[in-house]
Amino acid sequence: MAATPSSMVELGTPAPDFALPDLNGQERTLADFTGRALLVAFTCNHCPFVKHVEEVFGRVVSGVEGLDVVAICSNDAVDVPDDGPEGLADQAKRAGWDFPYLIDASQETAKAYHAACTPDFFLYDADRKLAYRGQFDDSRPGNDVPVTGNDLSAAIDAVLNGEVPEDQKPSIGCNIKWKS
pLDDT in tens, 19-68: 999 999 999 999 999 999 999 999 999 999 999 999 999 999 999 999 99
Asked if residue 87 has pLDDT above 90, the reply is yes
Asked if residue 89 has pLDDT above 90, the reply is yes
**What are the distances in angstroms from CA 40 to CA 1, 95, 118, 173?**
24, 17, 12, 16
Mean pLDDT confidence for 65-83: 95
State the pLDDT at residue 98: 94
Residue 172 confidence class, pLDDT cut points 50, 70, 90: confident
**Please, what are the domains in the chain?**
36-175 (3.40.30.10)
Mean pLDDT confidence for 14-18: 98
State the pLDDT at residue 2: 61
State the pLDDT at residue 5: 62
What b/e readout covers 37-72, taking b as 16+ CB neighbours within 10 angstroms? bbbbbbbbbbbebbbbbbebbbebbeebeebbbbbb
| Summary mean pLDDT of the chain | 93
